[in-house]
């Protein structure tokens, strides 16, 4: 079954690659550690994603690849990862694409085995060492060479290094030795990420690496990637993460790649300045053109002197046109989410009374004696390590899980909308967003009315009538938000809502939450979204919930200082960068 699933995923990747066409010319020296490709074009199913642009990746730089949902960021990363662009063979590439398949191997074994050179050398050294003592001196020399190379690779420290990476990503020593088949997909994705960090490739490609991480692991990964000294290209929806990791930003826009020095905040500042200057130049040119055209029209047939001046201006105008005029800045379409008015419900809306919970009779307690209430003015972010019970709490509040002890009382009229990472699995992929929403909400009879509703969530034109399976992950998420919003909930429970969304969409979501009349509880690894929408931070840890006295940025600093205590090596490496 596992092999069949893996093969299905591989076949899907192959089909995507077959529908992709990439052209480009290597412009950097074949032996260089920098990669410069010119005349780069990328199409998918005939749709042009990039046209005659440049790909510039320099050693020692950490690039954040940004752009709107569906613009082709992941497609570009796949094309690089599969060497469909001309990257020299001496540059090894590791592209993190999916979680590790379930197996009897442990996370530690999976991470260790990815370093194929070290594993092969260790096997060969073991074989030679077990040969008879009277073996040839040539074999002894070979054994010495193997040991020297293993020393270069720090082979004796490999297990400790693999264990440190897994620990940083949330694996306890006991978890590191459990079988992979006993872990969820999210945890197996962490193993795949650990493998990518362990092998230290020359070019590392990461697509939304924080999607399956809690805040603790996000902070650890940010500190770890800050020390990456080769070429890193990452796609991330988290401004906070891009600010912490990136030295450069690549903006994929209008079928071109544009490059900016600095982190995400610096990119925003630089882009704004460039666009302001561009618009000033554009308006100046348009004024000049209007003035010259007016002069030519008035005096082109006047006296000889005026006619000559008109001809001179006509030549100047032709030169301006021939040399290329400054284009008007075309901004990305602004997006706005919307949660309909929900009306008032008198408090208390939900009361949690002396609630304890565990999954099995003999299992560990997740919560013990919880006591709190939430109302329509609640704006809470739940934080804490994986396994502390954040998602479990939301399921208890919706009634998907029942308390082991205690009681949860809900107002009889309250409607709860829960967004979670598996909502996409409920979509009918053969239907279009328009057909799906009409099926879910048959009371809306007019297609045009439904089109307007879906359009509020950034799905327009062809996207509304294409099969959902052809949409990007981010676009599928928008269908889920449209579906959720039109349930008209009083309470929004949002469990990792930013996965697969672009930065502009997350900002639109934050605005919609802040405009929403009802209550909200949020689980997210996106520090910036929490900062935008949460009025309180609740820490889920050690079977209880405590209110954090401070904002989310103070909590992040707390996590960083905790990291330093647990992993002094991380601090040394960060200071050495």
Residue ranges of the domains in the chain? 16-114+164-266, 116-152, 350-576
Rounded to whole angstroms, the Cα distance separating 159 from 144 reads 22
Residue 6 in this model has a pLDDT that exceeds 80: no
- Indicate the pLDDT class of residue 334, thresholds 50, 70 and 90: low
- Indicate the pLDDT class of residue 285, thresholds 50, 70 and 90: confident
In this prediction, residue 575 carries a pLDDT of 46
Helix, strand, coil % over all residues of the chain, rounded to 5: 45, 20, 35
In this prediction, residue 431 carries a pLDDT of 94
The fold of the 350-576 domain, in CATH, is Rossmann fold (3.40.50)
Alpha-carbon Rg for the chain in angstroms:
28
Angle between helices 215-225 and 568-576 (to 10 degrees): 40
Strand pairing category for 367-374 and 350-357: antiparallel
Mean local confidence (pLDDT), 333-354: 88
- Indicate the pLDDT class of residue 359, thresholds 50, 70 and 90: very high
In this prediction, residue 34 carries a pLDDT of 94
Rounded to whole angstroms, the Cα distance separating 555 from 23 reads 46
For the segment 390-445, what is each residue's pLDDT rounded down to a tens digit? 999 999 999 999 999 999 999 999 999 999 988 888 899 999 999 999 999 999 88
Alpha helices (H) in 342-412, listed in sequence order: 390-398
Residue 1 in this model has a pLDDT that exceeds 50: no
- Indicate the pLDDT class of residue 38, thresholds 50, 70 and 90: very high
For the segment 209-251, what is each residue's pLDDT rounded down to a tens digit? 998 888 989 999 999 999 999 999 999 999 999 999 999 999 9
Rounded to whole angstroms, the Cα distance separating 228 from 567 reads 17
Alpha helices (H) in 107-199, listed in sequence order: 107-113, 116-129, 137-152, 158-168, 185-199
Distances (CA, A) of 230 to 29, 63, 114, 205, 543: 17, 11, 19, 11, 42
The b-or-e profile of 251-284 (16+ CB within 10 A means b, else e) is bbeeeebbebeebbebbeeebeeeeeeeeeeeee
CATH 3.10.290.10 for domain 16-114+164-266, yes or no, is no
Mean local confidence (pLDDT), 241-268: 96
Signed CA dihedral, 469, 472, 473, 475: sign only: negative
- Indicate the pLDDT class of residue 3, thresholds 50, 70 and 90: low
The residue ranking higher by pLDDT, 6 or 491, is 491
Distances (CA, A) of 327 to 259, 281, 292, 313, 321: 18, 9, 19, 22, 12
In this prediction, residue 8 carries a pLDDT of 58
In this prediction, residue 125 carries a pLDDT of 77
In this prediction, residue 510 carries a pLDDT of 96
In this prediction, residue 577 carries a pLDDT of 45
CB 25 within 8 A of CB 38: yes
Rounded to whole angstroms, the Cα distance separating 18 from 10 reads 12
The DSSP bridge partners found for residue 131 are: none
Rounded to whole angstroms, the Cα distance separating 215 from 191 reads 17
Token duo for residue 294: 């007016």
- Indicate the pLDDT class of residue 117, thresholds 50, 70 and 90: low
The residue ranking higher by pLDDT, 354 or 184, is 354
Signed CA dihedral, 381, 384, 386, 389: sign only: negative
Residue 63 in this model has a pLDDT that exceeds 80: yes
Token duo for residue 396: 């208890």
Nearest to 206 by CA among 240, 239, 231: 231
**Strands across the sheet with 20-26, in order?**
20-26, 35-44, 47-57
Rounded to whole angstroms, the Cα distance separating 357 from 401 reads 9
CB 375 within 8 A of CB 349: yes
- Percent of the chain residues past pLDDT 70, beyond the cut: 91
In this prediction, residue 412 carries a pLDDT of 92
For the segment 81-115, what is each residue's pLDDT rounded down to a tens digit? 999 999 998 898 999 988 888 899 999 999 988 87
Same fold, 16-114+164-266 and 350-576: yes
Lowest average pLDDT, out of 112-121, 261-270, 425-434, goes to: 112-121
DSSP assignment letter at 242: H
Rounded to the nearest angstrom, the gap between the alpha carbon of residue 225 and the centroid of all alpha carbons in its chain is 15
In this prediction, residue 136 carries a pLDDT of 57
For the segment 155-192, what is each residue's pLDDT rounded down to a tens digit? 668 889 899 999 999 999 999 999 999 988 888 999 99
In this prediction, residue 348 carries a pLDDT of 86
Rounded to whole angstroms, the Cα distance separating 285 from 327 reads 10
In this prediction, residue 120 carries a pLDDT of 74
On the question of a cis peptide bond just before residue 348, with omega within 30 degrees of 0, the verdict is yes
pTM check: above 0.85: no
Token duo for residue 406: 């205690």
In this prediction, residue 424 carries a pLDDT of 87
Mean of pLDDT over the chain: 88
Rounded to whole angstroms, the Cα distance separating 184 from 414 reads 32
């Amino acid at each position: 079954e596992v092999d069949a699933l893996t093969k299905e995923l591989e076949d899907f990747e192959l089909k995507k690659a077959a529908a992709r066409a990439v052209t480009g010319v290597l412009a950097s020296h074949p032996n260089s550690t920098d990669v410069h490709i010119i005349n780069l074009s990328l199409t998918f199913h005939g749709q042009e994603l990039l046209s005659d642009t440049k790909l510039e990746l320099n050693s020692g730089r950490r690039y954040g690849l940004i752009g709107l949902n569906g613009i082709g960021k992941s497609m570009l990363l796949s094309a690089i990862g599969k060497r469909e662009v001309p990257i020299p063979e001496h540059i090894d590439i590791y592209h993190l694409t999916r979680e590790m398949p379930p197996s009897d191997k442990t996370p530690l074994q999976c991470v260790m085995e990815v370093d194929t050179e070290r594993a092969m050398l260790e096997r060969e050294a073991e074989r030679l060492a077990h040969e008879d003592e009277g073996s040839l001196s040539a074999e002894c020399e070979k054994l010495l060479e193997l040991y020297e190379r293993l020393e270069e690779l720090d082979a004796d420290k490999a297990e400790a290094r693999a264990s440190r990476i897994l620990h940083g990503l949330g694996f306890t020593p006991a978890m590191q030795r459990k079988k992979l088949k006993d872990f969820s997909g999210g945890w197996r994705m962490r193993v795949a990420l650990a493998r990518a960090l362990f092998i230290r490739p020359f070019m590392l490609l990461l697509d939304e690496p924080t999607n399956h991480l809690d805040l603790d692991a996000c902070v650890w990964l940010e500190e770890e990637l800050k020390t990456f000294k080769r070429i890193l290209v990452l796609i991330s929806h988290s401004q906070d993460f891009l600010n912490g990791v990136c030295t450069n930003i690549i903006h994929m826009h209008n079928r071109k790649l544009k490059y900016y020095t600095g982190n995400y905040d610096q990119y925003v500042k630089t882009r704004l300045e460039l666009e302001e200057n561009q618009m000033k130049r554009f308006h100046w040119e348009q004024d000049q053109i209007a003035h010259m055209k007016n002069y030519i029209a008035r005096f082109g047939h006047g006296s000889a002197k005026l006619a000559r001046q008109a001809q001179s201006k006509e030549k100047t105008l032709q030169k301006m046109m021939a040399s290329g005029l400054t284009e008007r800045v075309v901004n990305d379409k602004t997006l706005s989410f919307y949660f309909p008015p929900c009306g008032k419900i008198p408090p208390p809306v939900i009361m949690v009374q002396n609630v304890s919970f565990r999954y099995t009779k003999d299992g560990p307690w997740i919560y013990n004696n919880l006591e709190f209430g939430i109302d329509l003015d609640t704006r809470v972010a739940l934080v804490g390590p994986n396994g502390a019970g954040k998602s479990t709490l939301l399921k208890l509040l919706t009634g998907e899980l029942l308390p082991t002890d205690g009681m949860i009382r809900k107002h009889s009229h309250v409607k709860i909308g829960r967004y979670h990472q598996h909502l996409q699995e409920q979509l009918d992929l053969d239907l279009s967003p328009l057909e799906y929403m009409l099926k879910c909400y048959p009371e809306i009879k007019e297609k045009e009315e439904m089109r307007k509703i879906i359009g509020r969530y950034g799905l327009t034109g062809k996207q509304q009538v294409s099969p959902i399976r052809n949409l990007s992950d981010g676009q599928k998420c928008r269908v889920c938000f449209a579906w959720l919003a039109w349930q008209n909930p009083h309470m929004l429970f949002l469990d990792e809502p930013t996965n697969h969304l672009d930065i502009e969409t997350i900002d639109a979501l934050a605005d919609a939450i802040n405009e929403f009349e009802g209550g909200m509880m949020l689980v997210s690894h996106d520090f910036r979204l929490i900062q935008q929408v949460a009025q309180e931070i609740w820490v889920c840890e050690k079977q209880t919930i405590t209110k954090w006295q401070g904002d989310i940025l103070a909590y992040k600093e707390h996590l960083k200082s905790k990291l330093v205590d647990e992993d002094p090596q991380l601090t040394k490496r960060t200071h050495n960068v």
